[in-house]
Amino acid sequence: MSAAIEKNHDYHMVEPSPWPFWMSVAVLVMMIGAVCWMHDWTPFPFFIGLAGVLYVFYAWWADVVKEANDGVSHTPVVQMHHRYGMMLFIASEVMFFVAWFWAYFDGFFRGDDIEQYARVAFTGGHWPPAGVELFDPFHLPLFNTLILLTSGTTVTWAHHALLEGDRNGLKYGLWLTVALGVLFSFVQYIEYTHAGFAFSGNLYGATFFMATGFHGFHVLIGTIFLAVCLARVYAGQFTPERHLGFEFAAWYWHFVDVVWLFLFASVYVWGSWGVALSH
């Protein structure tokens, strides 16, 4: 047992780790590769860096899981601080999406006269801009909404099954949630391939793809998060008393559910009405 664990206090003194350094190296290589790719050079460094990032994620989180399972590192005080950290992380994610909602609605809401004329120049006096072929909100977008709402129910089922010691219910709930997450991503891919506008076409296209695309990325991350939890369940981990990793995955999944409801209501439903802008 390490000296850090033997200390008589409630705090987890983290052992020296190589992963922060290697993560910074991998991200640096990935960003250099992204710049090279944008300038039509070679994308090879980007994918090398991405592979490095994914490997470091795996190795770093594997160490965290070991600490969570040793029975002494994650004391009640440490778990409380982890919860605070996750709450702050989700709060920062909320503000991230607030920025994209702001950018979207800024195409409609009136600012001062100079800003308003600038918007009209970009939108043609309408929001969404005239001529943009919009998605039917009650087709694929509504289907994806039902998928995410159902997945929120299944992950809650899994959580309650865990609290009640029902391992089979936990597995079934997680399997369904992961499957629904994959289905959502597939439907969004189909939607994007049939889009009647492009990211670079106009202000509407840019804000649409940034807002919905980043949400889709978060769904992908959440799906991986839950899949890892499922693997840990099959490894015999998580108990009704100790399941912080799964609890955080469930929080994150409910967060992406709520963000999607706002996206569906504002970008798809409200956006399909095509409100005219005043001069």
pLDDT (tens digit, 9 = 90+) per residue, 113-155?
455 566 666 666 677 777 778 888 999 999 999 999 999 999 9
Q: What is the DSSP letter of 273?
A: G
**Residue appearing with tokens 């780790």:** 17
Which residue(s) pair with 275 in the sheet? 127
Number of domains in the chain: 2
The answer to whether residues 70 and 201 belong to one domain is no
* Domain of residue 29, CATH code: 1.10.287.70
Q: What is the pLDDT of residue 69?
A: 80
Cα 94 vs. chain centroid, distance in angstroms?
11
Which of 74, 97, 129 lies at the terminal end of a domain, its last residue? 74
Domain encompassing residue 214: 75-276
Q: Are residues 79 and 207 in the same domain?
A: yes
**3-state class of 127 per DSSP?**
strand
User: What is the domain-level CATH number for residue 238?
Assistant: 1.20.120.80
- Compute the distance between CA of residue 266 and CA of residue 217 in angstroms, rounded to an integer: 19
Is residue 189 located within the same domain as residue 261? Answer: yes
Element at 202 (helix H, strand E): none
pLDDT surpasses 70 at 3: no
Q: Are residues 57 and 140 in the same domain?
A: no
Question: b/e for 193-213, b at 16 or more Cβ within 10 A?
Answer: eebebeeebbbbbbbbbebbe
How many H helices and E strands in the chain? 9, 2
Q: Looking at the structure, do residues 99 and 64 belong to the same domain, yes or no? A: no
Q: What is the pTM of this model?
A: 0.85
What digits encode the pLDDT tens for the residues 24-53? 999 999 999 999 998 989 889 999 999 999
**Residue 260 burial class via C-beta count within 10 angstroms: exposed 0-12, middle 13-18, buried 19 and up:** buried
Residue 265: DSSP 8-state = I
Kindly state whether residues 79 and 122 are assigned to the same domain.
yes
Q: Given CA atoms 126, 128, 131, 136 in this order, what sign does their dihedral have?
A: negative
